[in-house]
Amino acid sequence: MAASSDRNPPPFPAAEDPEPGLVDPADGDSDEGEDIFVSKTNPVSVSRGVSQPDRGAEDPPDLFSEEEEASSTTAKSNGVHSDDDSDLFAEAHMELNTDKPGSSAKKELSASSGPRSTSTSTQSPAAMQPTSLEQLEEEEAKDSFDVDVAITNPEKVGDGMNAYVAYKVSTRTSLTMFRSKTFSVRRRFSDFLGLYEKLSVKQSLHGCIIPLPPEKSVVGMTKVKVGMDDPSSVEFVERRRAALERYLQRVVCHPSLLQDADVREFLERDDLPRALNTQALSGAGFLKMINKASDAVNKMTIKMNESDTWFEDKFQEVEAEEQQLRKLHAVVDSLVNHRKDLCGNTAVFAKSMAMLGNSEDNTALSRALSQLAEVEDKMEQLHQEQAASDFFIFAELLSDYIRLLGAVRGCFDQRMRAWQRWQEAQSTLQKKREAEAKLLWANKPEKLQQAKEDITEWESRVTQYERDFDRIGMTVRKEVLRFESYGFGKHQYSGPSPCRGSLFMVSLYHGFLNFIWYRRFFVISQDFAVYRYFYRFIIVASCVEERRWRKDICL
Amino acid sequence: MMEEVKEVTSALSVHGHNIKITDVVKDGDALTFVIVSQKLSGTGEYHVDRTWDDFEWLQQHLFSQEDVPGLQGVIFPPLPAKASGNASAKIMKQLGVLGLGEWQPYCKALETFLQQVATHKILNKNKAVEVFLTSSDAPGRQKVKKNIFNRLSQAVEEMRKEGHKDVDEFFQTERDHNLVLTGCTKTAAEKFLDMVLTEQKIAVACGHFSAALHLCVEPGEDPDKKAFSRLCVQISEVFDSMKKNMTSVAENNVNTLGLGLDLESRYQEAEKEMLFRRTCKLVELENARRNAEKAKPVKKAAMEEVKTATQTEFQQICGVARQEIKQFHGVRVKMLQQALVQWCEKQLLTAKESTDQFNQHLQAFRGMAQ
């Protein structure tokens, strides 16, 4: 029935009325009305009473719409770019090296000390912690990024089972670390998986939340490869394109990931070496990986004494939310499966009706039954659309979120592991000291030198690991706050304390409006039209038949 | 259904076409049905309780009538299979659509059976029908003597007869046609049932989702949490509506087209059985003819007698059968059309109601964007 391009959902409410407090994350670059993650450029915060100009329905064909400078206020900010911010970022422990300090939007990217800063500066975060948390939150609110990515033009390259779809990745930026202002490259799906692999190896050690790429789908891709141009494979490619765009936007949103050489290479380099061994990163593989990692951490013998309850609380929150979402996802999954079953059943029924109509000798009834078969065919199409929309609006949204939360959990685990390393180093140091004491007592000067060197080495290691641990702790805090504020998307829900739930809610709300308006209403009114048509037909046919039968039977 | 049939000649004291089954009582395993029929003379009703065994008693009596010429040519209205309160999966499968929905479709099917028996020109003359419908005592449960009408699975020898070529073209075409139709209708009814079962599953899944969303509701004063909870509740309500819609759709399916297809399927089987009986009689006749021809003079007279008797029977059967077939086709088409019309009407109504409901939800959502 209707292909995705035919659909014309109403503009989102934010477009119709000036709505204080709700940003319209309407579709930007994608054709998909319901793909709300493909959003505009800056996360513009809207304070109450300010209406957001509608950038939804009247989207210019240009990939990137006007960037509006964030007039940032949050409900609890004091609107002041305090000096403390720069102090905070003087201690930022990430490898940052832009050439462009200065603008408020780039505060976070401003030059700072590297991870191995002097011990004095590393001590201050601990001291500053009570205030820095608030400042962290403020900083998050003022973030805006100067890199836009869009993914367009999926094209099938090659033939047969070796075919693949190449996407055009376009970047527009004003950061000088890139070679030019706008550029584009072609990438395929396995390139994205390769990027994730590289990032997770490197960055996870720092406690960052690495966004997860969309899942592999053998079924979907096989259809595309085989070359069918049917609407379902077109839709599949479109979905994947949108998911990849979301993923890439999350990656460039993240300030430290953006600095990564691999990311830059991904965006800029014309010819990327093929990422191999991406089989492991398919489907449920991601979640399995993360779950395995968590299990490994849980099995570690030395349990961490959580001095900072913030981490414990947050972790519980994340876990609880993930459980909730998993439950919802399971239910939605079963619903989608049943709908798919219904499609199959309706198709089979339609066929059996057609056969019956053919065998029927009474012409009117025969016609009626054949019509019924056609009606049921139409119903099957409707059911398919409904199933697809259920899937993509709810199931995908939920699983996307679950994966995100898994990534968040992953970074908590990283912190745990850092702590483990530190503790182990400390115990090793202790052992070395004991060994040295023994040697002193046994009076063996030649080995003593070795022992002293060992101790020095381990002392420095202990210090380093402790610093690592603190650093990761800070990063994790920052990441979680970022996540709570933005959820790795460029939309924002302004409220007294933005939370993950609000993002979910906004997406759900908009997705659902579209769902309900377009899908349900349309489907039901289609039901209606279809039945009405059949009803009229039946009435006419039965009148004719009745007359005939009465003539026959009244002997 | 057969309103034109004059009921003066029937032995019944009640109207045949508006017999109703008003209630079904489940008592452990057994189901008891309350049958209400309107008196012919004046106003008044008969209320009787019957179980399925009583129905079978009636059917057996109808099968075994001795004094009706050409009885084997009658297409007997089909009685639904026995249902019990705690039916096994096998029985439920056999019942098909009739096993769904708290026995309502089953009652309707029994109702149709009674109506057809009571309005059948030949069958309603049987005393058993009167007794069944009007006597306040349960009809006797004595075993009726065996007859070839018993619905045993055809023995292998009998199957052979089914393919026996006919002498009459009318009947031959009818047999061929019936064979095809029986298969098609049965398949259609089965696939329809599959569809209905899946619809029911979807309704249940929507209900689960709705409930799960309710669990997401978090108490608290946090305006964000409140907004989130409100949203969850709203979506939960929508899915509740979806569940109701789907349930109605499935119900409509069962009560109209489902019943129609089931009845059609069982009736086709009944016609098949009638045609088979006639074919058996034909084979018997041909055997009798052969015997009469080949008989030694001693036996010849006897054989001739047998042959003549068989011939008369056969002709009677053919006469009745022709009439029945004609009637059957008219009635069948009408019934199926009625089922289709009802189906359309009900689904239209459900669709309209659902559209309204969803519109309301949509408005509520839009209003939520505050």
pLDDT tens digits, B351-370: 899 888 888 888 888 887 65
Subunit contact B344:A535, Cβ cutoff 8 A: yes
Residue A138 to chain B, least CA–CA distance (Å) = 19
**Same domain membership, residue B132 and residue B46:** yes
Q: What distance in Å separates residue A356's CA from the closest CA in chain B? A: 5
CATH code, domain carrying B263: 1.20.1270.60
Q: What is the pLDDT of residue B187?
A: 92
Shortest CA distance from B344: residue in chain A: A535
CB contact under 8 A, A538 and B351: no
Split into its structural domains, chain B has a count of: 2
Between β-strands A182-188 and B30-38, what pairing exists: parallel, antiparallel or unpaired?
unpaired
Query: Does the pLDDT of residue A439 top 70, yes or no?
Result: yes
For residue A390, the chain B residues in CB contact (below 8 A) are none
The residue out of B137, B154, B171 marking a domain boundary is B154
CB within 8 Å: A345 and B223: no
Write down the pLDDT at residue B182: 92
CA–CA separation, A248 and A167 (whole Å):
12
CB-based contact B334 A546, cutoff 8 Å: yes
B349 in the same domain as B206: yes
- Do both B6 and B24 map to the same domain? yes
Q: Does B242 touch chain A (CB under 8 A)?
A: yes
Does B360 contact A at CB distance below 8 Å? no
> Does the pLDDT at position A375 exceed 80?
yes
**Statement to judge: residues B239 and B128 lie in one domain:** no
User: Would you call A441 helix, strand, or coil by DSSP?
Assistant: helix
CB atoms A512 and B361 under 8 Å = no
Residues B73 and B173 in one domain: no
Contact B212 A520 (CB under 8 A): no
Instruction: Tell me which of B154, B185, B213 is where a domain ends.
Output: B154
Give the rounded percent of residues in chain A with a pLDDT score beyond 70.
51
| pLDDT score, position A31 | 36
Poorest-pLDDT segment among A230-239, A315-324, B324-333, B349-358: A230-239
DSSP per-residue string spanning A204-230 = GGGT--PPPPPPP-HHHHHHHHHT---
The 3-state secondary structure of A257-318 reads HHHCHHHHHHHHCCCCCCCCCCHHHCCCHHHHHHHHHHHHHHHCCCCCCCCCHHHHHHHHHH
The overall average pLDDT reported for chain B is: 83
pLDDT for A268-314, tens place per residue? 777 777 766 655 555 555 556 656 666 665 655 455 666 667 778 88
Angstroms from A542 CA to nearest CA on chain B = 6
Residues of A in contact with B215 (CB under 8 A): 324, 327
Co-location of B208 and B346 in the same domain:
yes
A contacts of B1 (beta carbons < 8 Å): none
Does residue A186 register a pLDDT over 90?
Answer: no
Predicted confidence band of residue A541 (pLDDT cuts 50, 70, 90): low
Chain B residue numbers with beta carbons less than 8 Å from the beta carbon of A329 are: none
Could you tell me the sign of the dihedral formed by the alpha carbons of B219, B223, B226, B228, in that order?
negative
According to DSSP, the residues that pair with B51 across neighbouring strands are B32
How many Cβ contacts (< 8 angstroms) between chains A and B?
A: 175
Smallest Cα distance from A349 to chain B, Å: 5
B8 close contact with A: CB closer than 8 A: no
Distance CA A6, CA A229 (A): 17
One domain, residues B171 and B313: yes
Distances (CA, A) of A77 to A83, A137, A139, A494, A497: 14, 9, 10, 12, 11
Window 331-350 of B, Cβ < 8 Å to A: 333-334, 336-338, 340-341, 344-345, 347-348
| Residue from A221, A317, A519 nearest B362 by CA | A519
Judgement on whether residues B187 and B53 belong to the same structural domain of the protein: no
Q: What is the pLDDT of residue A11?
A: 37
Q: Name residues whose C-beta falls within 8 Å of residue B62's C-beta, 6 or more positions apart in sequence.
A: B76, B117, B123, B126, B128, B129
How many residues belong to chain B?
Answer: 370
In this predicted structure, what is the pLDDT of residue A530? 59
* Residue B217 belongs to domain spanning: 161-370
Amino acid at A19: E
Distance, in Å, from the CA atom of A51 to the CA atom of A71, rounded to the nearest integer, reads: 13
Pair B260, B366 in one domain? yes
Does B149 reach chain A within 8 Å, measured CB to CB? no
pLDDT interval class at A203 (50, 70, 90): low
Minimum-distance CB partner of B351 among A17, A335, A531: A531
Q: What was the pLDDT predicted at A250?
A: 76
Beta bridge partners of A150: A170
Mean pLDDT of B243-260: 90
Distance CA B367, CA B370 (A): 7
Work out the average pLDDT over B171-195: 91
Least-confidence region, from A51-55, A107-111, A239-243, A361-365: A107-111
pLDDT at A492: 30
Which of A427-431, B133-137, B213-217 reaches the highest mean pLDDT?
A427-431
CATH number of the domain where residue B116 is located: 3.30.1520.10
Q: Cα–Cα distance between A474 and A478 in angstroms, integer?
A: 6
Q: Are B210 and B358 in the same domain?
A: yes
- For residue A351, the model assigns a pLDDT of 92
Q: Which of A313-327, A368-382, B132-146, B307-321 has the lowest mean pLDDT?
A: B132-146
Identify the residue among A516, A543, A546 best suited for mutation to test binding to B, counting B beta carbons within 10 A and taking the highest: A516
Q: Which of B128, B154, B180 is the last residue of a domain?
A: B154
Closest to B355 (Cβ–Cβ): which among A13, A497, A528? A528
Please give the order of strands across the beta sheet that includes A182-188.
A147-157, A164-173, A182-188
B24 and B73 belong to one structural domain: yes
Q: Is the pLDDT of residue A518 over 90?
A: no
Residues B191 and B211 in one domain: yes
Rounded distance between C-alpha atoms, residue A429 and residue A432, angstroms: 5
Tell me what pLDDT residue A523 has: 52
Cα distances (angstroms) measured from residue A67 to each of A161, A298, A488: 42, 45, 19
Residue of chain B nearest A338, judged by CA positions:
B202
